[in-house]
Amino acid sequence: MDPESPRTKPQVLRRRTLARTRIFHVEAIDLRFPNGVEVRYERLRGSAHGAVLVVPLLDADTVLLIREYAAGVDRYELALPKGRIEAGETPEAAAGREIMEEVGYGARRLEVLHRLTTAPGYMSHDTHVVLAYDLYPYRLPGDEPEPPEVVPWHLSRLDELLAHPECTEARSIAALFLTREYLKP
Amino acid sequence: MDPESPRTKPQVLRRRTLARTRIFHVEAIDLRFPNGVEVRYERLRGSAHGAVLVVPLLDADTVLLIREYAAGVDRYELALPKGRIEAGETPEAAAGREIMEEVGYGARRLEVLHRLTTAPGYMSHDTHVVLAYDLYPYRLPGDEPEPPEVVPWHLSRLDELLAHPECTEARSIAALFLTREYLKP
């Protein structure tokens, strides 16, 4: 089948909020598909402006990962720094701020490489992957309960990182592969 | 810093359910970090047995993607087939069932390649990436509101897929790169 073929989207009949907490907004959405089938889905609304996942490049083969406690899985995770885009920020500005807060570096050059979704079936979240080059030491205070550990890793040793039990996050893994492809001579 | 170094996890002081809908279970978790800082996080509990993301290989260079409506982002998404692991199922069995339901193929050989998390900071979800080889046509009825389109794609043309506006899901992108690495001669 032709993946470019247009396909009529289902019609949204009704949306309503099911639950709202400090972080999460759960919504019910009633849909009617073109074939007449009606279904109710539930989904999470993401933050209004999306998020950034930053690939801080200390040099052409060295990325700076962070190791911090991840409450969802109740263990430490080794991943790329990330954070929300605030109102009025560009993805590049958010990425620059996040690495100052989490990694202790600023970047003279920032470049949006790709856009990723987290779970498009039930989350609206949109994440911009931003490359950060020409780094210089600069720290802004962050809101982490303990300072994240910064772990330099060579892209040429990506296979060893993938075998590390603390490196599991799909967005970071996708972004590291995308970066390696992009920087490939 | 040594990424292998042990680091003491924060202590869980209290957990309670904040909201529960048909699909989502939002939990508050109060933590005390080793440095004495106390924080409250919110997180989503995933399905009890985890999920599978299947890489159905029609031949060594052809994966079968599906194109289906994704309610979170309100558009069609081109991704690998996935689904929950049911009670008592192995990841391999769940993967075999899912591709019968979504792709219309059974697999004579199934192999767990990797484990991915979706958003470890606030979701407990765990996804097994399962390679499915030696396919044969076999369809089980699924619970989709409309039959998913099956879209064969060559791994050797992964760059074109990544440029496709409907291919955004981080887990699928990570799994496709992992598969290409694994099958690399």
Q: What is the pLDDT of residues B84-101, one digit of tens each?
A: 999 999 999 999 999 999
Rounded-to-integer distance, Cα B62 and Cα B151, Å? 10
Tokens linked to B50? 């985890």
Determine the distance in angstroms separating the CA of A159 from the nearest CA of chain B, rounded to an integer.
9
Mean pLDDT of chain A: 94
What is the chain B residue with the closest CA to A120? Answer: B72
Q: What percent of chain A has pLDDT over 70?
A: 97
The mean pLDDT value for A26-50 works out to 94
B51-183 CATH pick, 3.40.50.300, 3.40.50.10210, 3.90.79.10, 3.40.50.1390: 3.90.79.10
pLDDT given for residue B5 in this prediction: 59
pLDDT tens per residue, range B23-73: 999 999 999 999 999 999 999 998 889 999 999 999 999 999 999 999 999
pLDDT given for residue A5 in this prediction: 58
Q: Which residues of B fall within a CB distance of 8 Å from A146?
A: 33-35, 37
What is the chain B residue with the closest CA to A41? Answer: B71
B128: pLDDT strictly greater than 70: yes
Q: What percent of chain B has pLDDT over 90?
A: 91
Report CB contact under 8 Å: B78, A3. yes
Give the pTM: 0.96
CB B108 within 8 A of CB B26: no
Q: Which residues pair with B117 in a beta bridge?
A: A169, B126
Nearest CB partner across the interface for A37, out of B19, B41, B145 = B145
The interface residues of chain A toward chain B in range 83-112, judged by CB-CB distance below 8 A, are none
A117 touches chain B (CB under 8 A): yes
The interface residues of chain A toward chain B in range 49-78, judged by CB-CB distance below 8 A, are 65, 67, 69-78
**Radius of gyration of chain A, Cα coordinates, nearest whole angstrom:** 19
Query: Looking at A52-61, A62-71, B136-145, B156-165, which range is the least confident one?
Result: B136-145
Report CB contact under 8 Å: B117, A77. yes
B7: pLDDT strictly greater than 90: no
A58: pLDDT strictly greater than 80: yes
CB A106 within 8 A of CB A73: no
What is the chain A residue with the closest CA to B78? Answer: A3
Determine the distance in angstroms separating the CA of B10 from the nearest CA of chain A, rounded to an integer.
8
Query: What is the DSSP pairing of strand B25-32 with strand A51-59?
Result: unpaired
Q: Give the helix/strand (H/E) hosting A133.
A: strand A126-137
Sequence-ordered strand ranges (E) for A7-102: 11-20, 25-32, 38-44, 51-59, 62-70, 75-79, 82-84
The mean pLDDT value for A154-159 works out to 97
Report in angstroms the alpha-carbon separations of A29 from B14, B88, B104: 32, 31, 28
A1: pLDDT strictly greater than 50: no
Report in angstroms the alpha-carbon separations of A72 from A32, B27, B112, B124, B126: 34, 10, 23, 4, 10
Q: Which of B184, B155, B133 is nearest to B65 (CA)?
A: B155
A143 touches chain B (CB under 8 A): no
Rounded-to-integer distance, Cα A54 and Cα A39, Å? 37
The mean pLDDT value for A130-144 works out to 95
Q: Which of B163, B143, B138 is nearest to B153 (CA)?
A: B163
Structure ipTM: 0.95
Nearest CB partner across the interface for A1, out of B7, B151, B164 = B151
